[in-house]
Amino acid sequence: HVDQCQGMFQGPDGNSQLRQWVNPVLNFDHIGNSMLSLFVVTTMDKWFEIAHRGMDVTEVNYQPVANASPINILFFIAFVLLSSLFWVYLLVGALIDTYRRIAAATGEMVFTTPGQQKWAEALKMKQRQNAALHVDNREPVFFIRKWIHRLVQWKRFEMFIMGCIGFNVFMMILTHEGQPSGLTSAQDSLGGIFTWVFVIECALKMFGLGAKRYFKDPWNRFDFIVVLGSLPEIFGQDMGPGATLLRTFRLGRLFRLLKDAARLRSLFAALVDSLVAMGNVGSLLFLLMFIYSVLGMNLFGKMEHGQFINEGANFENFGNGLLVLFRVFTGDGWSRLMVDTMDCDLVEGFMQGDYYTKCYGSNFAAPLFFVTFISFATFILLNLFIAIMLDKFVDAAQGEGLLSTASFFDLLQRKMLLDGFVERLKQRLEENRIRLGIKKKSGKSR
């Protein structure tokens, strides 16, 4: 009991210490601390530690006992399901809906200037123009070139090259520390064989399609650059440290899978089309981090180092402040940083130093600083990136023919209504035929 917390005891360091009745910084003593603790649980940052403390409670003014109230875990599980796994995604949905409604009302892309929007539209028109120019199925006159032209345009030839790319990457990912020499020899031999295959493919395409037509296709230009990077390796030239870079560069051939996969192309196109808008949102995020870094320097720049605010993580200068805020933005142990900035008299020897006896003026400023930053940066700006990506994905999917109407379910509903109308029409015609005494024609209908 709290009244029995008197006298001295032997601490973890072996020295005698005065007994003190202490609380964790994140607790449920009043509404303010309760909301702060639950906000930490919402962000999923070390929430299980708060849950364990809830499971250890006994009675008021009595010390906790391990697993004294295991039923309390249901409270935290229910809150995590409702807040972190439901409410957060409702927020994402609301942001996406608002983003699309603003875009539909204005007829413009959100988070882009008129100049950037015109540039993006011109880029799309150029891509469509290039795609139309690349459609050239004219065959050469010379019979050898004609045969090679048909070979490189053959679907199975392309499938063979894709299989070689996949198997080549598979052999590369088998590399590991301490691998047997046999595996290394097999990787080198197969790597050389695959490189020759890609060189031959490049030569056949250049000969069969012609150099001018070959280099019109951006995928062919990309393949040519990768093949050029592989030439020193197949001719046995020692590239030193650059050899590893060249071998890794061959992974770029995986992007060729986008060429024949409409769904992957739509994802890639969505990423490219959203770069401008995401760059503007990223600038807004950097501005927010800039403001909060300066604010953190004024609030916490001169405080003493603790367990988590230390030489590597502090607000003593602008650069360190930005790094700390980026760490908070990613959600990595941000609650521990907040506890250290709350200017509390922490008690050593307890659970990772987060028990206190008294807090001072910045006890209110620190939670307000971190909670508002996470609300703006993580819950709003980060989800805006998702909204932009989804919006661009819909546009790209429509361009690829994956979404020819506003919704797949509209098509499904129209088809079901049309099928029902056809069935009712057949029944009505059959009833009229019987009523009028018209004989049904024998034989199969065409």
Q: Which amino acid is at 235?
A: F
Residue 335: count other Cβ atoms within 10 Å of its Cβ.
Answer: 26
Annotate 276-331 with three-state secondary structure: HHHHHHHHHHHHHHHHHHHHHHHHHCCCCCCCCCCCCCCCCCHHHHHHHHHHHHHC
| pLDDT tens string 398-410 | 555 545 444 555 6
Tally of CB atoms within 10 A around 415: 10
Give residue 286's pLDDT.
93
Q: Which residues contact 273 (CB under 8 A, 6 or more apart)?
A: 120, 124, 392, 395, 396
The Cα–Cα gap between 281 and 335 comes to 26
pLDDT tens-digit map of 129-153: 555 445 556 667 677 888 888 888 8
Share of the chain above pLDDT 90, in %: 12
Distances (CA, A) of 125 to 119, 120, 128, 132: 10, 9, 5, 11
| Model pLDDT, residue 223 | 81
**Region for residue 295 given its phi and psi (left: phi exceeds 0; alpha: psi -120 to 50; beta: otherwise):** alpha
pLDDT-derived band at 441, boundaries 50, 70, 90: low
Indicate the residue type of 125: M
Residue 386 near residue 89 (C-beta atoms within 8 A): no
CA distances for 44 relative to 34, 73, 331, angstroms? 15, 15, 8
The answer to whether the beta carbons of residues 345 and 358 sit under 8 Å apart is yes
What is the reported pLDDT for 79?
Answer: 93
Q: Do the beta carbons of residue 172 and residue 166 sit within 8 Å?
A: no
114: confidence class by pLDDT, cuts 50, 70, 90: low
Closest to 315 measured CA to CA, from 334, 294, 343:
294
The runs of H, that is alpha helices, within 180-217 are: 181-209, 211-216
As a whole number, mean pLDDT of residues 41-49 equals 88
41 pLDDT exceeds 80? yes
- For 255-299, write each residue's pLDDT tens digit: 766 666 656 666 666 677 777 778 888 899 999 999 999 999 988
Contact 152, 204 (CB under 8 A): yes
Domain boundaries along the sequence of the chain:
2-97, 137-260, 275-399
CA atoms within 13 A on the CB side of 414: 7
Which CATH number is 137-260 given?
A: 1.20.120.350
Read off the pLDDT of each residue in 162-176 and give the average, rounded to a whole number: 83
Nearest to 197 by CA among 158, 155, 239: 158
Cα 251 to chain centroid distance, Å, stands at 21
pTM over 0.75: no
Contact of 165 with 253, CB cutoff 8 Å: yes
Mean pLDDT throughout 216-222?
Answer: 78
| 275-399 fold | Helix Hairpins (1.10.287)
For position 351, what pLDDT does the model report? 42
